[in-house]
Amino acid sequence: MRDIIDGFLRFQREAFPQRVELFKRLATSQNPKALFVTCSDSRVVPELLTQREPGELFVIRNAGNIVPSYGPEPGGVSATVEYAVSVLGVQDIVICGHSDCGAMGAISRCTCLDHMPAVANWLRHADAAKAINAAHSFETPGAKLDGLVRENVIAQLANIRTHPSVALALEQGRMNLHGWVYDIETGGIDALDGETRKFVPLADSPDTVAVASRHR
């Protein structure tokens, strides 16, 4: 904990003074252009990956970068998606999985989660990805996990489209959806191409979109 406090003191002493004007503007408003949904994993830092400043990303983090389908009893993720789209007017939503994901690893290995019932219940929102991935053959457990990480990104993109605010924004041509998989070891990102349904290196195809707005 001391390291964390020392980090704050260093921020206050060194980093904050360099961004005084930025924080002065952010003190009363924010105008993020994108909603970034990713895993809680400590190795994934959205602002670092995208080199964004404070106020530029609206972020949701949870185990497995999951977005439950819209339902009669929406929870915190649904409320945050709705706020980002309807109030902040984000133009893009990124769902970003990552390599060596513990949540997807538990599903891939069929790990018993009886001692973590809340986690087990939460990961049921990835059942579609689990079923599709199980229909394929993989040479190694690692390849199976990588496949599940990708299928989960696709599944969560489908889930988020059930949210009324997202469906409306897509229909009105004011939003695009992006599906990414971040490789922790290499720093690379693969992006889902909505036309081919395949993941391609984002560095080679920076305009790749998973779901484009109806009117571009």
- Asked if residue 10 and residue 35 are part of one domain, the reply reads no
Catalytic residue flag (residue 43): yes
To the query of whether residue 98 is one of the catalytic residues in this protein, the response is yes
Q: Domain total for the chain?
A: 2
Phi-psi label, residue 185: left if phi above 0, alpha if psi -120 to 50, beta otherwise = alpha
Instruction: Report d(CA 36, CA 88) in Å as an integer.
Output: 13
Query: Distance between CA atoms of 139 and 143, rounded to whole angstroms?
Result: 7
Considering the domain architecture, whether residues 50 and 145 belong to the same structural domain is answered as: yes
| Rg value, the chain, Cα | 18
Q: Are 125 and 65 in contact (CB under 8 A)?
A: no
Co-location of 70 and 120 in the same domain: yes
41 is catalytic: yes
Query: Which domain, by its residues, includes 60?
Result: 31-201
Catalytic one of 43, 109, 136, 214 = 43
Residue of 98, 150, 163, 178 marked active site: 98
Q: For residue 41, say whether it is annotated as part of any ligand binding site.
A: yes
Q: Could you read off the pLDDT tens digit of each residue along the chain, which spans 216 residues?
A: 999 999 999 999 999 999 999 999 999 999 999 999 999 999 999 999 999 999 999 999 999 999 999 998 879 999 999 999 999 999 999 999 999 999 999 999 988 999 999 999 999 999 999 999 999 999 999 999 999 999 999 999 999 999 999 999 999 999 999 999 999 999 999 999 999 999 999 999 999 999 987 754
Dihedral in degrees, nearest 10, Cα atoms 215, 85, 205, 43: -170
Q: From the candidates 6, 52, 100, 101, give the one annotated as an active-site residue.
A: 101
Does the annotation flag 98 for ligand binding? yes
Residue position matching structure tokens 């970034």? 36
Same domain, 81 and 166: yes
- Catalytic residue status for 39: yes
Domain contains 145: yes
